[in-house]
Structure 1
Amino acid sequence: MSTLVSRNVTLEGRRTSLRLERAMWDALEEICLREHQSMHDLCAHVDRIRAERTLTAGIRVFILEYYRRAATEDGHIGAGHGTLPG
């Protein structure tokens, strides 16, 4: 049984199917809420800026980079968590 979940998104007026892990879909939905964007708009944005060969890979990299930026000291403080111990 596959751990990938298929969903359809519309990019620039065309419908396409994406297969991502459930955790990736959850992260993408969270980013959409935080950024006040629809899933379709965010995926279209990733499609325009991606360097990766496939849209699915581009979305995975986008999610990773989004959370990596949040994990910086500035991102950590901006999220209201204070500074890291140590």
Structure 2
Amino acid sequence: MIARNVTVAGRRTSLRMEPEMWDALQEAATREGLSLHDFCTGVAKRRGAYSMTAAIRVHLLSYFRDAATEAGHKTAGHGKIKSRR
């Protein structure tokens, strides 16, 4: 587990997550054109009863599951067999 500080809605907080979750969080933030802090602030606004760390994990799961739909795969160009000719 890695602990890092993030600023959520102007307040500094500490999150502990696995390295893979930090990588996924940074990737999602980059894809959305947001800083890590702004991405976390957006998640915090919709987190409901979840802890901040749990809300981020759930959000990332949904984010990447949405990308794994058939439409998401087509948009990303997944599943195309490329010829090596």
1:20-70 per-residue CA deviation (whole Å, 9 max, x = no partner) reads 100000000111111110000000000001134200000000010001000
2:48 is paired with a residue whose SS is coil
User: Match of 1:34?
Assistant: 31
* Whole-Å separation in 2 of the counterparts to 1:18 and 1:52: 16
Structure 2, unpaired ranges of 5+: 81-85
Higher relative contact order (CA 8 A, sep 6+): 2
| Equivalence for 2:44 | 47
CA distance in 2, matches of 1:74, 1:50: 26
**Normalising to structure 2: TM-score of the pair?**
0.88
2: distance between equivalents of 1:35 and 1:51? 22
For the pair shown, the structure with the greater C-alpha radius of gyration is 2
TM-score by length of 1: 0.87
1:5 has 2:22 as partner: no
RMSD between superposed Cα atoms in Å: 1.2
In structure 1, how many angstroms separate the alpha carbons of the residues matched to 2:35 and 2:16? 18
CA distance in 1, matches of 2:70, 2:48: 26
Percent identical:
55
Which residue type is aligned with residue 65 of structure 2?
A: R
Aligned residues: 80
Deviates most, 45-54 or 25-34: 45-54
* Residue aligning to 1:70: 67
CA distance in 2, matches of 1:51, 1:68: 20
| Structure 1 segments of 4+ aligned residues over 6 angstroms from their partners | none
